[in-house]
Amino acid sequence: MDNAPYHSVALEKAPTKSTCKADIQLWLTKKGVPWSEDMVRSELLELSQKVNTTSIVYRIDTLAATHGHEVLRVPPYHCEFNPIELVWSQVKGYIAARNTGFTLAEVEKLLPEALASVKQEKWQNCCAHVEQLEAVAWERYMIVDSEIEPLVFCICDSCDSSSNESGAQFSDDELSGIEELC
């Protein structure tokens, strides 16, 4: 599944700055976080931000789980790892090749034919192609990960040379235009 907003709707959303005070209080109560009636909205929001919400449960995941399926998510901006994109391209190509009237009614008539034209073998070929792309991507990732070392420059006066991982020393002239962050 890709990361489209409609695929990423959380079952339980954490409060935001636009959440009303009563809803923040209800959310905190559900999470077992103690709060008092005299707390203002900003204090309640601060409490809510301290709650660990790293395990977000998505609505589509629970729907799929009720039918015995597990949702796998495609990395952002990598639709090439989703076989449905290849199948959808074939469906659109089928319709484009046979659409002579360029009307919505004709497209609606052609769509069931186009979907029926996608046989099991085509799906398997698309899945196999995506698996090959994944293997190549993992291979490239491992090469990049093993070959590229992190490059860290410490530009603070308080840093000593032992904390400078790159071991590089620069004069003030070489760092012109760079402001100290510390």
65-104 tens-digit pLDDT = 999 999 989 988 898 999 999 999 999 999 999 999 889 9
- Spatial separation of the C-alpha atoms in residues 35 and 48, rounded to whole Å: 10
Alpha helices in the chain (DSSP H): 21-30, 41-49, 59-66, 83-98, 104-116, 120-147
Contacts of 132 (CB under 8 A, 6+ apart): none
pLDDT (tens digit per residue) in 93-130: 999 999 998 899 999 999 999 999 999 999 999 999 99
**pLDDT in the model for residue 182:** 55
Banded pLDDT at 164 (limits 50, 70, 90): very low
* Dihedral of alpha carbons 90, 96, 110, 92, sign: positive
**pLDDT in the model for residue 178:** 55
CB-CB neighbours of 178 under 10 Å: 11
For the chain, how many helices (H) and strands (E)?
A: 6, 0
Which pTM was predicted?
0.58
**pLDDT in the model for residue 29:** 93
DSSP bridge partners of 49: none
- Spatial separation of the C-alpha atoms in residues 54 and 61, rounded to whole Å: 16
